[in-house]
Amino acid sequence: MASDRNQSFDPTEDLRQAGLRLQIIYYIAIVIFAALIARLWYLQVINSDGFRDRAEANRIRVIPIPAPRGTIYDRNGKPLVTSKSSYNIVLSRKDVKDSEFPQMADLLAEHMEIDRQWLAKRFEDAKIEAKHESIVIKELASERDLAWVEAHEYEYPMIRAERAPQRLYLYGQLAAHALGYVGEVSPEELKKPNGDFSKEKGYKLGDIIGKFGIERKYNDILMGKDGERRVLVDSRGRIQPQGTIEVIDPVPGRDLYTTLDLDIQKAAEEQTDTMPAGRGAIAVMDPNNGEIRAMASRPAFDPNVFSQRAKTPEGKDEIRELQTDEERPLFNRVIQGQFPPGSTWKLMTSVAALNEGVITPTDNRIQDGGLQIGNYPMRSISNFGKPDIITAIARSADGYYYRLGLKMGVEKFEKWVNLFRFGEPTGIDLPGEYKGIAPTRETKRRSWSRAIKKAQQALDEASPGDKAAKEFHLRQVQREAEWTDYDMASSAFGQGQNASTPIQLLRYTGGLAMGGQMYTPHLLLRAAPGVDRLGNQQPETYYGDSNKFSVPMSKEIHEIVLKGMAGAVEYGTAGAARVEGFDVCAKTGTAQVASTDRVGKKNKDHAWLISFAPRDKPELALVVLTENVGFGSTYSAPRAKAIYDDYYRRTRNLPPKTEETKAENSSPGAGARSPEARTGLQDSQPRVQN
Amino acid sequence: MVNVNRRYVADFDWTLFSLALGLAVFGVIEISSVQPSPGLWRRQLVGVGIGLVLMFLITLHDYRRILNAAPYLYAIGIALLLLVQTPLGKEVNNNRSWLELGSFSFQPSEMAKIFTLMLLAYYLAGVRKRPLDLRTVVVAVGIWALPTALVFWENDTGSALSFTSFLAAMLFLAGVRWSWMAAALVAVVIAVIVVAPRIKNCETYKCERVKSVYWPDLAKKRYRYQNEQAEIAVGSGAILGKGPRGSTQGGLGFLPEVHNDFIFAVASEEWGFIGSSLSLATYLMIIARLIQIARRSRERTGMLLVAGLAALLLYHVTVNVGMVVRLLPIMGIPLPLMSFGSTSVVATCFGLGLAISVRLRRFVN
C-alpha cells in the first residue's frame, strides 16, 4: 500500500484507512451474530421438542402409589391373606449422585438401621432402571423413621416416606405352601426375555409380585394397578409447595376365592404339626370336581417374613435360614415331594389286571407269600394262602401282587400306568409341580442310557485284544437295562423305579372314588371382577378344568376297589382311619427309603395313606404322607381319621369330640394299640435294594 | 463542559441510549423472573440507575478531556486489581475477582477493562504514524499485558481474554501492517492446532469445560451438566417461549448462576426464539451504532476509543451467548447490560457514555 511506505502522517488518509478496517470489523460482527442466531434456530426451532421433553423430565417427578393386592379368601369367604396400609422409606435414585452415595449410605445406616452393604447393592441395581424411579430402602417404617424423614425434609429431599400396602398372612404358616408369598421382582426376572415377570410385560424394579404358590400363579389376578402422583420438583428434588400436579389413585387387585376350606385346612395343619420327624404332607380334595380343600406341608414357614421383614437384618437372616435349611421348609411336599407310592399302588395294579382280564371279578385267587425270582428272594410279610383280590387289597398282600404283576406282564401294566397318567404333572394351578417317575421300560432304559453309552464308547476305543471283554461288558449293561421279572413284581406293588407326588396320588384316589373320573386338582374357585394391573376391566373368572379325563372302570371293578378299600378300614391295614358313620375307604402304603444306612431316623420309611369318604357318595379324598416314621403305615391313618372326624361332625352338626378322646385318637401311637393296626404291620416290606 | 441546550438534546444519541436502556430493563425483568425475591433485581435496578446517570454525566464532558485522565484511571485500575489479592478480595467459584468494601462489593476487572481501553486509545492516538512501528506495538502490548496478567492471576480467563479483543481491534485500526496481522492470525491458528489435542487428555476443570463443548464424550458428567441444562433451557423455549415467569430450568434451579452468566438462557426459555434473536439483534444494532460513531469521528482518539468499545462489547456478547448455546466453553463472562452485576452495568454505561460523547462532538474539531 502506498501509505505504508509514506512516513509523513496524513490524518485524513489515516481516518479513511481506519474506516475501511472498521468495515471489516463490522462484517466480522455480522458473521458472528449470524452464527449465534443460526445456533439459536437449531436449538429453539428445529430441536425444541426434545429439549422440551427433557425440561419436563427435569421438573416433574412421578411418585408411584403402589396398589394393594387382592384379598385371598377361602371357599366360604373367610379372609386368608389381606393387605394392610403402611409406610416405606424410599430414596429418589435420580437425586443422589454416585459420588454422594457413600455419605448417604452412612447416614441411612446410622439413622434407619439399614444394612450398608445391602443398600449399596440396591443402589447399584437401580442403575438399570428408568431414572424417575425411587428405591425402597426400608419397609414398615416406624414412627421414629417417619419423624426423622420429616425433620430432614429440606436437608435430604431425596429421602421420602411413601404409603405402601403390606401383605398380611392372617394365619401365619397355615396353608403357606399353597398361598405362597410375595416379594420384590428381582433384576434377573426383569431382564429375562419372555419371562413371566419381564420388563416387556410391564414389570419394574420395586414391584411386589407373587414369588410362590397362589400368589405367583395368580399374580395377574391379585396384582392391582399402581397409581401415581406427579409433582413439581426443583433441581434438588424438593417437592414444590402445592407442587402436586395430578394424582392417579391406585386400583386394588382382584379378590381371589380359593377352593380351600379353612376348617379342613386347620384340621390338616393340626395333623401335620404332630408328625414325628417334622416332615410330611396332607392334601384334601373334593373328588367330585378336583377342588383342593386343604393342603399342608411340613416343615413350613411363615410367609409374613417375606412380606413384612424382608428388609430388616433379622428378617433377612430368617429368610436365609429358610432358604438354606436342609429340611427345605420352602419346598411344597404335596406337589414337589416324590416318593415311591408303595402299596397305595396296588389298586392301580388291581384295576389294570381286572380290566385286562388277567383276573376276573369272580376268578381272582392268587398265591400269596414270598417268592424267588432268579437270584433275588422277594420276601412277603403276609401269607394269606390264596386270597381273593378284595382280601389282598384290604390286607395288603404283597405276594399276591408279585404274582399278579408277573401274570399281567409289562405291556398291559404300562398301558395302565399311562392311562392313570402317572409320571405326568397333574397340572395343579401352582408353580413348580414335579412329575414323579412312572415305572415303565422307558424309564428304566433312560436311567441306564448313560452307562450303555459309556460302555459303547469303551468298546469303540478298545484295543483289539480288549475288544471281547468290552463287548461282554456292553452286553451286560444292555441286559441290565432290560425290564426284568423282578422289576415287574416290585413295580406291581408300588416299589422299584417308581415315584409319585402326593398330589398325583390324590388325583388317583379321587379317580378310584369316582369310578375312574379324574379331575385336575386346583385351588382357584373364582376371582372377583375388577381391574387388572394393566388397567383392563376383567369379568368374574372361574377355574376351567381343561384336563379332566377318565380311566375305564366298570361298575363291577369299581365295586371291587370300594370293597377292598372299605375292607382295609373295616378289617385290614387301615383300621385306624375308621370314622363311625362316615364309611371311610382307605389304603395304606410304605414308601421305602433306599439307603445303605437304615439306622438313622432320616432313613426310616415314609407312611402313606390314601383315602376317601363316604364310600358311596364321596365328599372328600385325602392323602397323608408321614415321612420317616419307620416301619408301618399306622402313623398316617389316625391323622386321616382326625380330619374326617372333624369334618363329619361339623357338616352333620354333631357335637365336637371331647378333648381326651380327640387326643387319644389323633396321637400317632394310638392306632398301633388297636387290633386292626397290628395287621397293618403286614404292609409290604420286602427288604431288597434296587 | 457543554450546556444542556436544545442542540445537545437534538444531537444526543437517543437511539443508542434506547437500545441500551431496553436491554437493561429486559435484564432486570428476567432477573426478577428467576429470583423473585426483591433483593437481587432491585439491586440491579439501582445499578442501572447509577449507570445511566454516569452515562449522562460523561456525555456532558468532552471525551478528550476525560481521556487526559486515562493514565491515572489506568493506575487506579491496576491498584484495584492488586487489591483483589489482599485480604480485601473475595473468592467466588474459584475466581478471585471481587473486592469487598463493607457491604459493597464490585469487580475491579470490569473497570480495569474500560480504563485500559482508554489508555490504549489515548496512547495510540498520540502516535502519529501509519503503519505503526514496532516500538509503539510493544508499548501498547505492555499497557495490555499488565492488567491482563493480573486478571489471569484472579483465575478469570474469560475476562483476561477480553482485554485482547480491544487490543487487537485498536492495533488493527491504528495501522498495524497487514503482514503483522496475518502473522498474528497464523500464530493463533498454530496455537489452536497444537493445544487442541492436549486438551483432550487434560483433566483440569478448564480443559473439562472445553471438552464438554467440543468433545462431550470425553468430558466428565458434572462438567457437562451446565452445558446440558443451558441447552435444555434455550431449546425448550422453542419459538414463542414459556412466557414471563415461565422458566422452569432457571426458576427451579437446574441452571447454575442463572441470574448472572446464564441470564440469556432464561430469556431464551421464557421468550423463545423470538425473544432471543431480537435481543441479539439489539446487541448487533448497538455494536453497529458504535462502529458508525467510530467511522464518523473526525479524529483518531474518538475513533479508536469507540471502536475499542465495540470490540469489547462484541467479545462479551459472543462469549456469553456462545457459552449459553454451547458453541463456546463456559467462562465467567457477564452479558453486558443484562447480567446481574452493578460493576458490569456501570462500566458498560460508562463506555457508552464515552461513545455518545464522541458522537456529540463529531462536528467539533
- What pLDDT was estimated at residue A76? 95
Q: What is the percent of chain B where pLDDT is above 90? A: 69
Q: Which residues contact B314 (CB under 8 A, 6 or more apart)?
A: A25, A28, A29, A32, B165, B287
Read off the amino acid at residue A335.
I
Q: Smallest CA–CA separation between B225 and chain A, in Å?
A: 12
First to last CA, chain B: 15
Mean pLDDT of B200-220: 90
Position A683 confidence tier, pLDDT thresholds 50, 70, 90: very low
Verify whether the Cβ–Cβ distance A22 to B234 is below 8 Å: no
Residue A667 has pLDDT above 60, yes or no: no
Instruction: Calculate the CA A369 to chain-centre distance.
Output: 43
Q: Which residues contact A590 (CB under 8 A, 6 or more apart)?
A: A342, A343, A605, A606, A607, A608, A631, A632, A633, A683, A684, A685
Residue B261 has pLDDT above 60, yes or no: yes
Q: What three-state secondary structure class fits A22?
A: helix
| Residue in chain B lying closest to A37 (CA) | B277
- What pLDDT was estimated at residue A659? 54
Residue A135 has pLDDT above 90, yes or no: no
Mean pLDDT of A87-91: 84
Q: By mean pLDDT, which of A77-81, A232-236, A415-419, B47-51 is the weakest?
A: A232-236
Residue A309 has pLDDT above 90, yes or no: no
The per-residue pLDDT of chain A, averaged, comes to 85
- What pLDDT was estimated at residue A673? 37
Residue A684 has pLDDT above 60, yes or no: no
- What pLDDT was estimated at residue A126? 67
- What pLDDT was estimated at residue A671? 38
Across chain B, where does the E strand assignment appear? 89-92, 95-101, 104-106
Verify whether the Cβ–Cβ distance A29 to B231 is below 8 Å: no
Position B284 confidence tier, pLDDT thresholds 50, 70, 90: very high
**Partner B contacted by A27 (CB < 8 A):** no
- What pLDDT was estimated at residue A678? 36
Position A152 confidence tier, pLDDT thresholds 50, 70, 90: confident
- What pLDDT was estimated at residue A4? 46
Position B26 confidence tier, pLDDT thresholds 50, 70, 90: very high
Integer-rounded Cα Rg, in Å, for chain A is 36
Position B18 confidence tier, pLDDT thresholds 50, 70, 90: very high
Q: Smallest CA–CA separation between A295 and chain B, in Å?
A: 57
CA dist B31 and B260 (Å) reads: 8
Please state the φ and ψ torsions of residue B331, each to the nearest 5 degrees: -135, 150
Residue A316 has pLDDT above 60, yes or no: yes
Q: Among the ranges A70-74, A152-156, A655-659, which has the highest mean pLDDT value?
A: A70-74
- What pLDDT was estimated at residue A7? 57
User: Exposure string (b/e) for A595-612, b if CB count within 10 Å is 16 or more?
Assistant: eeeeeeeeebbbbbbbbb
In what side-by-side order are the strands of the sheet with A239-248? A60-65, A227-233, A239-248
- At A338-376, the pLDDT tens digits run 999 999 999 999 999 999 999 998 888 888 888 888 888
- Chain B residues near residue A25 by CB distance under 8 angstroms: 169, 172-173, 291, 307, 310-311, 314
CA dist A511 and A509 (Å) reads: 5
**Partner B contacted by A13 (CB < 8 A):** yes
**Partner B contacted by A47 (CB < 8 A):** yes
- At A610-620, the pLDDT tens digits run 999 899 999 99
- What pLDDT was estimated at residue A685? 40
Q: What is the percent of chain A where pLDDT is above 90? A: 47
Crossing angle (nearest 10°) for helices B134-153 and B157-174: 170
| DSSP 8-state symbol, A343 | G
- Please state the three-class secondary structure of A576-601 as a single string: HHCCCCCCCEEEEEEECCCCCCCCCH
Residue A2 has pLDDT above 50, yes or no: no
- What pLDDT was estimated at residue A658? 60
The DSSP bridge pattern shows strands A620-626 and A606-613 to be: antiparallel
- At A263-306, the pLDDT tens digits run 999 999 999 999 888 899 999 999 999 999 999 999 999 999 88
Residue B365 has pLDDT above 80, yes or no: no
Check if the interface score ipTM surpasses 0.85. Answer: yes
Mean pLDDT of B49-53: 95
* Among A residues 57-96, those touching chain B with beta carbons less than 8 Å apart: 58-59
Q: By mean pLDDT, which of A45-59, A431-445, A537-551, A631-645 is the weakest?
A: A631-645
- What pLDDT was estimated at residue A690? 31
- What pLDDT was estimated at residue A129? 54
Mean pLDDT of B154-161: 90
Q: What three-state secondary structure class fits A250?
A: coil
- At A162-220, the pLDDT tens digits run 888 889 999 999 999 999 999 988 888 888 888 888 888 888 887 889 999 999 999 99
- What pLDDT was estimated at residue A640? 94
Residue A488 has pLDDT above 80, yes or no: yes
- What pLDDT was estimated at residue A344? 93
Verify whether the Cβ–Cβ distance A17 to B175 is below 8 Å: yes
CA dist B92 and B113 (Å) reads: 20
Pairs of CB atoms within 8 A across A/B: 144
Q: What is the percent of chain A where pLDDT is above 70? A: 89
Mean pLDDT of A455-473: 86
Q: What three-state secondary structure class fits B132?
A: coil
Count of beta carbons in the 10 Å neighbourhood of residue A45: 14
Count of beta carbons in the 10 Å neighbourhood of residue A687: 10
- At A107-120, the pLDDT tens digits run 888 887 777 777 77
| Residue in chain A lying closest to B181 (CA) | A21
- At A398-411, the pLDDT tens digits run 899 999 999 999 99
Please state the φ and ψ torsions of residue A293, each to the nearest 5 degrees: -95, -30
CA dist B159 and B97 (Å) reads: 10
- What pLDDT was estimated at residue A128? 59
Cell of B90: 473475595
- What pLDDT was estimated at residue A677? 37
CA dist A646 and A654 (Å) reads: 10
- Chain A residues near residue B266 by CB distance under 8 angstroms: none
- What pLDDT was estimated at residue A132? 46
Residue A394 has pLDDT above 70, yes or no: yes
Decide if A624 contacts A280 (C-beta within 8 A): yes
- At A538-591, the pLDDT tens digits run 999 999 988 899 999 999 999 999 999 999 999 988 888 999 999 999 999 988
Among positive and negative, which fits the CA dihedral A372, A373, A374, A376? negative
Q: Name which of B170, B248, B305 to mutate to probe chain A: the one with the most chain A Cβ atoms within 10 A of its Cβ.
A: B248
Q: Smallest CA–CA separation between B25 and chain A, in Å?
A: 22
